[in-house]
Amino acid sequence: MKKKFKHNTILAKLLCIMLAISMLPCFVTNAEAAETGADTVGDVDGDGSITPKDVTKLRRYLAGGWSVDVATEDGDVDEDGAITPKDVTKLRRYLAGGWEISLPALFNSSVKVGEITFPLRTSWTAYMAPASQGNGVYLAAYMTSNMQIYMYESVAVPEKDFKEAVSSKANFEYIGQMFVDELAKQAGATNPKVEVFDEGGVTYGKTTGSGNVQGINMSFAIYFKLQDNSFIVTMAMEMNSSISEESDAIAFEACKAAKK
């Protein structure tokens, strides 16, 4: 049997976090299913990497007549506010190398959710502005043009409970299982998985899974850590049968960067 927390305070607050997952039907009702893309500028075909295929798709988009759709935030590699032949040129030079060309960073802004600052992309739409859910829980949610949803949560944790929570990986597994149970309940997830790992001296928990919400396939990647006397959670959701490597990476990078 996995070790449970001695104190009930943090558990009560963790249950408040489940509000985010319980809101999934609301998100799905207000968003149309769409082909999942990416949030790396230049990756216009959304396969998780920048290749010559992206140049081809961008050229066809500009030429017209190819039934190709490209989001401005993905194809505007020179960040002038529009997709033009200059973007094709910059992308080709980036792939060729030797031009000292770099593409825009994955995150270019930040947002404070409670006492924790999370990284952000200015191209994301604020689906839910940072707001208190009570009991020290803060929540924010953002949507990309490709209908990917990223949720940020922070929970203030009393010092005594914080020290106990970070004392054992079993505690992280227990937290992850709570997410698994809620995913099964709210989204019918049948294949959830919990992982606990260390990176850079920090212990992270990860829960992944997929399910069906109101007839739409949904996939999830949830990362969490205990830092700065706070429980920090980042979650990526896609209208797809499995989470993409790109969305998973964004959720993890956001969790790593989040701090007071």
Question: Is 99 within 8 Å of 46 (Cβ atoms)?
Answer: no
CATH class belonging to 9-35+106-257: alpha beta
The rounded distance, in Å, linking the Cα atoms of 119 and 98 is 30
The rounded distance, in Å, linking the Cα atoms of 66 and 117 is 42
**Per-residue pLDDT, 13:** 53
Question: Is 138 within 8 Å of 220 (Cβ atoms)?
Answer: no
Buried b or exposed e, range 194-204, using 16+ CB within 10 angstroms: bebeeeeeebb
207: Cα separation from own chain's centroid: 12
Question: Is 125 within 8 Å of 142 (Cβ atoms)?
Answer: yes
For the segment 68-81, the average pLDDT, to the nearest whole number, is: 79
Which residue has tokens 């935030």? 73
Per-residue pLDDT at 227 exceeds 70: yes
Question: Is 61 within 8 Å of 69 (Cβ atoms)?
Answer: yes
Per-residue pLDDT at 80 exceeds 70: yes
* 19-52: pLDDT as tens digits: 555 555 555 555 443 333 344 678 888 776 788 9
For the segment 54-58, the average pLDDT, to the nearest whole number, is: 91
Per-residue pLDDT at 7 exceeds 80: no
Question: Is 151 within 8 Å of 234 (Cβ atoms)?
Answer: yes
* 160-198: pLDDT as tens digits: 777 777 777 888 888 888 888 877 777 777 778 899 999
- CA 121 to each of CA 40, 104, 107, 173, 186: distance values in angstroms, whole numbers, following the listed order: 10, 10, 5, 30, 28
Q: Which helix (H) or strand (E) holds 113?
A: strand 109-113
**Per-residue pLDDT, 21:** 57
The per-residue pLDDT of the chain, averaged, comes to 79
In a 3-state reduction of DSSP, which class is residue 72? helix
**Per-residue pLDDT, 1:** 39
User: DSSP string spanning 116-164?
Assistant: EEEEE-TTSEEEEEEEEEETTEEEEEEE-TTS-EEEEEEEE--HHHHHH
CA angle 129/134/137 to nearest 5° reads: 65
For the segment 90-108, the average pLDDT, to the nearest whole number, is: 80
CB burial of residue 82 (10 Å; 0-12, 13-18, 19+): exposed
Domain spans of the chain, in order of start: 9-35+106-257, 40-105
User: DSSP string spanning 13-59?
Assistant: HHHHHTHHHHTHHHHHHTS-------SSTT-TT-SSS--HHHHHHHH
Q: How confident is the model at residue 111 (pLDDT cuts 50, 70, 90)?
A: very high
**Per-residue pLDDT, 150:** 92
What CATH number labels 40-105? Answer: 1.10.1330.10
Question: Is 57 within 8 Å of 77 (Cβ atoms)?
Answer: no
Range in 32-36, 67-71, 96-100, 256-260 with the lowest mean pLDDT = 32-36
